[in-house]
Amino acid sequence: MANNRTSSASRDILPEPTLRRLPWYLAYVSLLKESGVEYVSSTQIAKEINVDASMIAKDLSFLNIKGKTRIGYEVASLERELQDFLCFKVEHNAVMIGVGSLGNSLIQDSGLVNYGLDIVAGFDIKPDKVGQQVCGVPIYDISELKERLPELKAEIGIIAVPIDHAQEVSDLLVDAGIKALWNFSPFRITAPEGIVIQNTSIYAHLAVMYNRLGLSKAMNREK
Amino acid sequence: MANNRTSSASRDILPEPTLRRLPWYLAYVSLLKESGVEYVSSTQIAKEINVDASMIAKDLSFLNIKGKTRIGYEVASLERELQDFLCFKVEHNAVMIGVGSLGNSLIQDSGLVNYGLDIVAGFDIKPDKVGQQVCGVPIYDISELKERLPELKAEIGIIAVPIDHAQEVSDLLVDAGIKALWNFSPFRITAPEGIVIQNTSIYAHLAVMYNRLGLSKAMNREK
């Protein structure tokens, strides 16, 4: 990313698994920096966070970050480059669609701001929510979405509605001019080409966890 | 994988990507059932949720669910089998470690109960939190974890602490007898073999979203 003429091309091909690992490296490197460590090798990162060292080196090479032989990566510059690349220090405005239990919780999670996400408004259909505020964030009627979006300058729509409204809400958001959909509902939404979709079904992770837990119990019984 | 006598074996090897897709199918099939639809084909599911039809058929065959030629899957039984398999109707007790912004939000997200997760207690180090309740869930001092865990009957530990405490808290949980770690911190924790780990870094999804948004902007500029 950092170099001359292939910057957009290298950005094109950055695989999603790599992108998802970069915040792990950033988290660990930030810890090292706080402890005053100056250099770190991919082997050391690998050991601490349980990711293959060669994968770490490869992931970082996508960003044109290269370690020095025998010294490794300079911690401070590695942190800065990861931070710049991940855009966690850039403010991204977002709107929350659905201010039920999960939507409410996400608006209240001040941690998101530290990762560059600023939820500037919520939208709902329930009369008892519309006109209220959650942590200072105004809640509007969903029918006002298209009209209010330009002033809100939001490119990201967060979807926290029941599954039977997820697709409908996605269509509304796209029609209103939203460029990225962050879907927390377990319904798998679809959108026109060019719209960024991230499905974060925390329930899918529960499914994996329950299954693996059941499996380890079954294995223990067999022992 | 899909065959007769190896049902526990087939559970062993059910791949994680398959497990993560099953809740999508369940969500869509539940919608169909509510609308009174009786049969659905993998092609139809594929079209609606944008997953390859052959992948859906393969995923479902892992569970020994097979559609009938020209009729497809029976909606009611498909919903039931997915629900049984995913264990969303079984209560799983969990403890929340770290009752800051995110931990607090997750305790308040009543949606988790619908997916079988019952957060029965929180643990924190801050004196102003210990002894309080969040939505009826008691918050204890982290030093009491090992002593309180048996009565709480929790097998799942949810980690929502700052990155510099994530590994320490994981070790405490494992030592206290927890079998599965659901890690919401961006720090990639490690645990002994046999302990189930799910890393749900919602910030990693933000990283992907920001990157893809930046990319589509760059492409538009080039046009």
Q: Using CA coordinates, name the residue in chain A closest to B85.
A: A211
- Examine the fold and report which residue of B86, B108, B140 is the final residue of a domain before the chain moves on: B86
- Examine the fold and report which residue of A36, A64, A86 is the final residue of a domain before the chain moves on: A86
Asked if B79 and B129 sit in the same domain, the reply is no
Q: Could you give the maximum distance between any two Cα atoms of chain A, in Å?
A: 63
pLDDT digits (tens, 9 = 90+) for B45-56: 999 888 899 999
**Interface mutation vs chain B, best among A193, A209, A221, A223, most B CBs within 10 Å:** A209
Confidence of residue B6 (pLDDT cuts 50, 70, 90): very low
Asked if B81 and B96 sit in the same domain, the reply is no
Which range (A86-90, A105-109, B36-40, B130-134) has the least confidence? A105-109
> How many domains, in total, are found in chain B?
2
Give which of A66, A73, A113, A116 is closest to A91, Cα–Cα. A116
Q: Look at residue B179 and tell me whether its pLDDT is greater than 50.
A: yes
- Examine the fold and report which residue of A86, A101, A132 is the final residue of a domain before the chain moves on: A86
Q: Give the 3-state secondary structure of residue A190.
A: coil
- In chain A, what percentage of residues exceed pLDDT 90? 67
Asked if A140 and A70 sit in the same domain, the reply is no
Q: Give the 3-state secondary structure of residue A147.
A: helix
Residue B217: inside a domain: no
β-sheet bridge partners, residue B15: none
Q: What is the model's pLDDT at position B4?
A: 38
A211 touches chain B (CB under 8 A): yes
Residue B215: inside a domain: no
Q: What is the model's pLDDT at position A214?
A: 85
Residue B100: inside a domain: yes
pLDDT digits (tens, 9 = 90+) for A62-74: 888 888 888 899 9
Q: What is the DSSP letter of A100?
A: S
Q: What is the model's pLDDT at position B223?
A: 60
Region of B124 (left: φ > 0; alpha: ψ -120 to 50; beta: rest) is beta
Residue A209: inside a domain: no
- Distance between CA atoms of A102 and A107, rounded to whole angstroms? 9
B15 or A149, greater pLDDT:
A149
Sign of CA pseudo-dihedral A82, A87, A91, A95: negative
Q: Look at residue A5 and tell me whether its pLDDT is greater than 50.
A: no
Q: What is the model's pLDDT at position B216?
A: 73
In this structure, what are the phi and psi dihedrals at residue A208, rounded to the nearest 5 degrees?
Answer: -65, -45
pLDDT digits (tens, 9 = 90+) for A22-63: 999 999 999 999 999 999 999 999 998 888 999 999 999 988
Q: Give the 3-state secondary structure of residue A6.
A: coil
- In chain B, what percentage of residues exceed pLDDT 90? 67
Asked if B96 and B137 sit in the same domain, the reply is yes
Q: What is the model's pLDDT at position B12?
A: 52
Asked if B68 and B106 sit in the same domain, the reply is no
Q: Using CA coordinates, name the residue in chain A closest to B19.
A: A208
Does A210 contact B92 at a Cβ distance shorter than 8 Å?
yes
Token pair for residue B56? 């859906």
Average pLDDT over residues B13-37: 91
The CA distance from B108 to the nearest CA of chain A, in Å, is: 7
Residue A183: inside a domain: yes
Q: Are B40 and B70 in contact (CB under 8 A)?
A: no
Q: What is the model's pLDDT at position B171?
A: 97
Q: Give the CATH number, domain containing residue A165.
A: 3.40.50.720
What count of Cα atoms within 13 Å lies in the side-chain half-sphere of residue B166? 27
Asked if A135 and A197 sit in the same domain, the reply is yes
Does B207 contact A20 at a Cβ distance shorter than 8 Å?
yes
Asked if B67 and B109 sit in the same domain, the reply is no
Asked if A107 and A21 sit in the same domain, the reply is no
Residue A110: inside a domain: yes
Q: What is the model's pLDDT at position A223?
A: 60
Instruction: Count Cβ–Cβ pairs < 8 Å, chain A vs chain B.
Output: 218
Asked if B102 and B66 sit in the same domain, the reply is no
Chain B residues within 8 A of A200 when measuring between CB atoms: 202, 205
Chain B residues within 8 A of A208 when measuring between CB atoms: 16, 19-20, 198
Asked if A194 and A96 sit in the same domain, the reply is yes
B31 touches chain A (CB under 8 A): yes
B34 or A12, greater pLDDT:
B34
Across all residues in chain B, what is the average pLDDT? 89
Q: Give the CATH number, domain containing residue A37.
A: 1.10.10.10
Does A214 contact B49 at a Cβ distance shorter than 8 Å?
no
* Domain, as residue range, for B142: 92-204
A156 or A51, greater pLDDT:
A156
Q: What is the DSSP letter of A50?
A: T
Strand order through the sheet with A117-124: A133-134, A137-141, A117-124, A92-97, A156-159, A180-183, A196-199
Residue B13: inside a domain: yes
Token pair for residue A90? 């850039």
Q: What is the model's pLDDT at position A157?
A: 98
Asked if A160 and A186 sit in the same domain, the reply is yes
Residue B129: inside a domain: yes
Asked if B101 and B22 sit in the same domain, the reply is no
At residue A113, what is the residue type? V
Chain A residues within 8 A of B108 when measuring between CB atoms: 101, 104-105, 108
Q: Look at residue B150 and tell me whether its pLDDT is greater than 70.
A: yes
Q: What is the model's pLDDT at position A222?
A: 67
Give which of B151, B223, B157 is closest to B189, Cα–Cα. B157
User: With b meaning 16 or more CB within 10 Å and e meaning fewer, what string describes A53-68?
Assistant: eeebbebbebbebebe
